[in-house]
Amino acid sequence: MKTIRIIPVYIAMALLTVMSACSQASGTKNVANKGFAVLELFTSEGCSSCPPADALMGQIQEEYKNNDVYVLSYHVDYWDNQGWKDVFGNPDYTKRQYQYGSWLGVNPVYTPQLVVNGKAQLIGSQAGEVKAAIQGALLTSSSFKTTLSLNAQQQQGSLTITYTTNATSKNERLLVAVVQKSAQTNVKRGENGGRVLKHYQIVRHLHTAAITKEGKGNIKLKLPENFNTKDFEVVGFIQDVATGGILGVTRANL
């Protein structure tokens, strides 16, 4: 893990007072007076510090399955020249992490880095601080509720997403993540050589779209070859691209 310049415990404490917008529990159901937690983990199969964070995301996914907690694991590619190329690595996710570095004032970025609701970051393997951040996020709410509903229809290797939202600011974007719930890799070289690594909530595709003035529209996504509704899910969220803050989130009805 690279050196971090922000002390994680301070971030976790700050999250207890960060105000975030309310979202939906799933589909088209609105949640009133309630917070949410979007956890974005930046990880890599080439990083020996990452497996504990990956495992923690699996625990959180199970422990908070009945709460408005959304886990997204992005596999970055800047470890790929250290002896092992991450099978899920994507340069787009590296770019996203560096964008968070700019939004949050974190330099350098590192793995395993966890960003919560686009507003604060901490080390993704520190269970106590991660869970404190989740609880803080779930206890916050806002008088203005950013609503979002997603419905999805699968057709011949593609997915058509129909969305409705009240988020229409020029700085707000809709991001849709196609997420593989779990996988494992037999790593043969690099820092994790000889290990079988388990991964959870792997982002296989991330699409960003401008929101129409009417707050409704359609998006067509290309799906991974092995996509199925049992082993994958689709998560959508509204993000302020000026600050990085996430304003609303939901899972799609498939």
Please tell me what DSSP assigns to residue 206. Answer: E
Q: So where are the chain's domains?
A: 8-251
Please state whether the predicted TM-score (pTM) of the whole model is above 0.85. Answer: yes
Q: Which pLDDT tens digits describe the chain residue by residue (254 residues)?
A: 543 333 343 334 344 333 333 333 334 333 334 899 999 999 999 999 999 999 999 999 999 999 999 999 999 999 999 999 999 999 999 999 999 999 999 999 999 999 999 999 999 999 999 999 999 999 998 778 899 999 999 988 899 999 999 998 999 999 999 999 999 999 999 999 999 999 999 999 999 999 999 999 999 999 998 999 999 999 999 999 999 999 999 999 88
CA distance 209 to 217: 10
Are 198 and 54 spatial neighbours (Cβ–Cβ below 8 Å)?
Answer: yes
Query: The dihedral of CA 108, 119, 10, 58: what is its sign?
Result: negative
CB 83 within 8 A of CB 190: yes
In angstroms, the CA 122 to CA 169 distance is 29
Quote the CA–CA distance of 163 and 148 in Å, as a whole number.
7
Sheet holding 246-251, edge to edge: 120-123, 113-116, 37-43, 69-75, 195-210, 172-187, 232-240, 246-251
Dist CA 123 CA 4 (whole Å): 9
Does the domain spanning 8-251 belong to CATH 2.60.40.10?
Answer: yes
Residue pair 209/158 in contact by the 8 Å Cβ criterion: no
* Structure-token pair, residue 55: 């495992």
